[in-house]
Structures are given as structure tokens and as C-alpha cells.
Amino acid sequence: MGPVATEVTPRWIKVLDQTRCIGCHACTTACKSENQVPVGVTRTYVKSVEIGTFPLVRRAFQVTRCNQCTDAPCVAACPTAAMYKRPDGIVDFDKRSCIGCKACMAACPYDAIFINPEDHSAEKCNFCAHRLEVGLEPACVTVCPTEAIMVGDLNDPTSKVARIAQREPVTVRRPEKETRPGLFYKGAHQATLDPLAARRPTGDLFAWATQGTGTTPRALSQRVTSGHPGHANSSAATLLSYDVPHQAPWGWRVSLYTWTKGLAAGAYLVALMLALAGAVPWSSPLVRWVAPSVSLAMLAATGVLLVWDLKHPMRFWMLFARPQWRSWLVRGGVIIAAYGAVLVGALAAGAAGSTGAQIGLATAGLPLAIATAAYTAFLFAQARARDLWQNPLLAPHLVIQAVMVGAAALLIAATVNGNHGALADLRLALATAAGAHLAMLIGETLPHHATAHAELAVDEMTWGRFASFFWTGVVLVLAAVASPWLGVVGAPLALVGLLAHEHAYVQAGQAVPLA
């Protein structure tokens, strides 16, 4: 009896032969028609770069789309599994499960995902999976006049794409991200593959005049325009001549969320630290009701901001009903919910005057407060596209920030309520945390960074569009270091200073072009 034949699951990949691409944009229009993609967004587009200097100049094209990664960051980051990986290697999406959190957009190193302006759900190229399932090629493949776009099964040694991918020199975009893309480029120029390799023109020098021309504060804050000003990385002078608008997925609500969450974690955390150290009694109003009340109010504000930022806010319940547990949005939601329950219990125990219950709740409240402050570091780390956020010290830095603003909030409350016994300790805690925050900030911004993307993000934060927020934060927090002498005046300075810093940090992290 001979060996039994087993069916091998296909691994669909694409090869883009850029030596054949003529920049006709037929793939873009065919994709829009086939998948009913609205005007203003694209699942695929062709960008172009001018290489060389006159008269020795030529135009290079690159077809840009989802890379169908083997280790897809968008799949890991999606809290509801709306982005998912099929057995045949295609990274697909389910719009019915999308809550519009934009975590997939922040995670994608290739800027390939967008929010559909009509149905407010995330989408991208999915290889026209509905066509492949019935034996048809993707729409872009069928219309390409030069056969520059090829699709096939990597596991089939007779397929053309398998022969090219395994035998010929091909490359992928951003291999350092280790996503193992299923999209291979043949003959592509480095100036098209690397978004930082070509100079980015200013004003309306693009081949089309509408790229990034919005002048509203929101448009300016979310425009992704940074690069290497005045020079290029490649050996030949290059200039980006055609691109599509790119926006930062997370706007001011996420910047504000990091601040309110820090307050929510810090107020209760500082009160517990003072009580456990014996600096204030457990019966103190600061511990019994002020700190839990401030933390609970800020936690509620955090929840409102997170839901408000969703493109489908009425679907927020899916975070808990259909959780994808690798996502730190889900894990963070559980941490926040547990912390909120402890805060409610702490208020009840304080109202009842039960010191034993307060101390018992503190055993859970202390680690939960720290986790509430720190989990955003892991959420940002899942945004693998954003090199500024890949900082191993971000978690302790967030805890330090929480202590700073928590001490500031309690200092104001203690001054108003006449709780003078805690003022000296709160001023010292505020000054110490403010100094530690500035020390961490120096360590994060001054040294040379490991990647060009991180370096450019720091430049954008310290000297670029967000410099005014950054330096405002530095000056105000520096003043708060003098809180032992300034008294309660240092508290609002620290609060406003951290708010300014958080906006600069969150937005600058998204300010480097990915495609």
C-alpha cells in the first residue's frame, strides 16, 4: 500500500515585482471598486519616489498594502479578535466585532490599516479572500497591465510566487519588526521601502496638492509629516513625490486618558503608602474617603475617555463579552474594573469606620493601583510600529508619574480640608516624584536612540510640533520639585505639567511616517 496523500493548507503570499510597475494605479482603482472602499482611504496605493538629481533622475514606484504577517501585531493587539489570522495565512477582519479602538492601526508597522469613514470599522487588504475562495485571483492581480502583482501558494513548489520568493533576491519591509511578512518585493529601491530614506517635501510639492493640507488644530496635531529634513538616507538623492495622507490613530483623548489614569492610580496609591508608613492614620479623612473618591472619579473619567475614543462606542461591552486575551486593552480593562471594585469597597469601609476592612482592601488595592498605572506601558509596547514607546523603563516611569500627580491631588485636597498633618509628607512625595520623573525624562531623551524612528520621534517631541507641550511640562514639573518650599502651589504645576508632557509623548510617538 502506497503512502496516503495529505492535503497541505495553502499559504497565500504576494510578490510585487517593482521592476515591472509603471505606477498606473489600476490596482488601487480595482481594489476600490471590488471592495467598495470609500473615497479618501485605500486598501492599496502606489507611492512614488524621485531618485537622483537632474538630469540623471528616474521615478521608482512601490505598491503599498497590508503585509499579511505571520506574526501579525494587529491580531495580537485587537481586543475583540476583529483582526484574525486564517489557516491559509491571510490576516482578515470581521467588521461586526470591531469596536473602532484603533489598536490595530497603532500596532501595524506598515500603516496598512484604516478606519472606514462610512461604517467606522477597521479594514485593510485581505487578498480579496472572497475571490480566492471561489478560485479567482484578487482584483488587483487581474487588472495589472504588466503582471507586476502576483499571488500564489508558498507551499506549492510549482507556483510562480514560490519560485520567486524562495529562489530569487526579494525583500520585505521593516524586517527588524520580525513580523515575517507574506508580501515580498522584487527589485524595489530602498528609497521606496524605507519611509525615512527619501526627503519628504513641504507644502504642496507633492504630485497631488491635497496631501496633508489640513490646517485645523486636529489635522495639524495628527498629520504624520516628519522625516529626515534636508537630506536622505540613500546613496542617491531621493524625494518622495506621491503619497497618501497618514494620520495618528490616537488623538487627544488618549493623551488625556494617560493623565486621568495616572491620577486614578496615584491618589489611592499615595494615601496607602502614607498609611502603611504610619505617616497618617487609617482613620484620617485623607485615607477614608478623599483618596478613594478622587481615584474613583478619575477612573470613571478614564473609562469615559476610552469609550468616547472608540469609533463604535456602543460596542464597548465586547471588550468583556468577546475578549482576545493577548490584547492589553482587554487586560487593562480587567485591571481597571478590579481596581474600581476595590475603590468602591474602600469607600464603603471608610464610611463604616472599619479599619480592618480598609487594611484588608489595601492588600489588593496597592498592587492594583500600581498595575493600573503601569499597564499602559504594555499597551503601548503592543503598538510595535511606534519605536518611541518600546521603552523597557516606561512601566516604572508611569508609576512615578502616578505618584507625582496623586500626591499633587491629595496635597490640594488636604490643604482645602485643613488636614495639615499630611501636608509635609505630601509635599515631599510630590517633590521626590517630580524629580524622579525629570531624571527618567533625561534618560529617555538625551542618549542616542537605537532606531531612526525613535530618534525622529524624540526630535518631534523636543524640537518639533510638540515641543511647546514638552517644554511646558518640563518647566512646570521642575518648579514642582520645589514643593517643600512652594507648598500647595507646586501641586497644580505638577498636574498641568504632566498633562502637557503626556500629550507631547503620545502624539510624538505617532509622528514618524511608517509607509
pLDDT digits (tens, 9 = 90+) for 367-413: 999 999 999 999 999 999 899 999 999 999 999 999 999 999 999 99
Tell me the residue type at 206. F
312: burial class by Cβ within 10 Å (0-12, 13-18, 19+)? Answer: buried
Question: Measured between alpha carbons, how far is residue 88 from residues 8, 13, 132, 137, 154 in Å?
Answer: 10, 9, 11, 15, 10
pLDDT digits (tens, 9 = 90+) for 326-349: 999 999 999 999 999 999 999 999
pLDDT of residue 228: 52
Q: Indicate the domain borders of the chain.
A: 12-242, 252-508
Q: What angle do CA 128, 131, 136 make, to 5 degrees?
A: 120
Task: Please state at what angle helix 394-417 crosses helix 252-276, rounded to 10 degrees.
Answer: 70
Confidence of residue 219 (pLDDT cuts 50, 70, 90): very low
Helix spans in 353-489 (H): 355-382, 394-417, 423-445, 452-462, 467-480, 483-486
Q: Taking 60 as the threshold, does the pLDDT of residue 95 lie above it?
A: yes
Residues sharing a CB contact under 8 Å with residue 177, sequence separation 6 or more, in sequence order: 73, 109, 384, 385
Q: In the 8-state DSSP scheme, what is residue 118?
A: T
pLDDT of residue 207: 55
Residues sharing a CB contact under 8 Å with residue 43, sequence separation 6 or more, in sequence order: 31, 32, 35, 37, 65, 66, 123, 124, 125
Confidence of residue 55 (pLDDT cuts 50, 70, 90): confident
480 touches 420 (CB < 8 A): no
How far is the C-alpha of 406 from the C-alpha of 113, rounded, in Å? 37
Residues sharing a CB contact under 8 Å with residue 135, sequence separation 6 or more, in sequence order: none
Confidence of residue 487 (pLDDT cuts 50, 70, 90): confident
Residue in the block written with cell 516628519 = 226
Kindly report the pTM of this predicted structure: 0.91
How far is the C-alpha of 243 from the C-alpha of 23, rounded, in Å? 12
Three cell numbers written together for 469: 507641550
Three cell numbers written together for 453: 524612528
More confident residue, 56 or 369: 369
How far is the C-alpha of 284 from the C-alpha of 421, rounded, in Å? 10
Overall average pLDDT of the 449-467 stretch = 91
The total of other beta-carbon atoms located within 10 Å of residue 34's CB is 17
Tell me the residue type at 410. L
CATH number of this structure's domain 252-508: 1.20.1630.10
CATH number of this structure's domain 12-242: 3.30.70.20
